[in-house]
Amino acid sequence: MTEPTAIALAQPLNPAPQMAPAALPTGAQLVLRVMPMPADANANGDVFGGWIMAQVDLAGAVLPARIAKGRIATVAVNQFIFKQPVSIGDLLSFYANVTRVGRTSVTVHVEVYAERNPAELQVVKVTEANLTYVAIDGQGQPRALPT
């Protein structure tokens, strides 16, 4: 299967005046793309933060799962920043890069970008987080990462 690319996000941007143009993360991989639906909204009509956190957890697990070559568990979310609200219909792209590989754990940095207003495209960095995943064995205990 061909890896998805960031071509759409690399097109010239026309951000709203109050928003800095998003700079794509260097050395990061696109691991998930998803669009929130009305069922994912909070009482304000923005997307529920817990829904975004779940997507970040899923996206963050992609590279550690490849490295661990087996079962993993999220052990820590050491930083989670909601920089901008997410709206229904935003196309969210999740980029991840591995920041640490330990004996049993892998830490990744995840950045989330929203593409909105297709007629006059804006790309906004909405969220970023650091997550650590541990390779676990059949008993749920940490196991050494394969070499």
Name the site residues for ligand COA (rule: CB under 6 A).
Answer: 73-76, 78, 102-105, 132, 134, 136, 140, 142
Q: Closer CB to ligand COA, residue 13 or residue 62?
A: 62
Smallest separation, CB 10 to ligand COA (Å): 33
Smallest separation, CB 83 to ligand COA (Å): 22
Contact 142, 74 (CB under 8 A): no
Q: Closer CB to ligand COA, residue 10 or residue 76?
A: 76
CA 119, CA 130: separation in Å to the nearest integer? 33
Smallest separation, CB 33 to ligand COA (Å): 23
CA 128, CA 24: separation in Å to the nearest integer? 12
SS3 124: strand
Q: Closer CB to ligand COA, residue 10 or residue 144?
A: 144
* 58 contact partners, CB below 8 Å, separation of at least 6: 32
Q: Closer CB to ligand COA, residue 125 or residue 143?
A: 143
Q: Closer CB to ligand COA, residue 14 or residue 78?
A: 78
Smallest separation, CB 146 to ligand COA (Å): 13
Can you give 75-120 as a three-state secondary structure string?
Answer: EEEEEEEECCCCECCCEEEEEEEEEEECCCEEEEEEEEEEEECHHH
Smallest separation, CB 131 to ligand COA (Å): 9
CA 108, CA 133: separation in Å to the nearest integer? 8
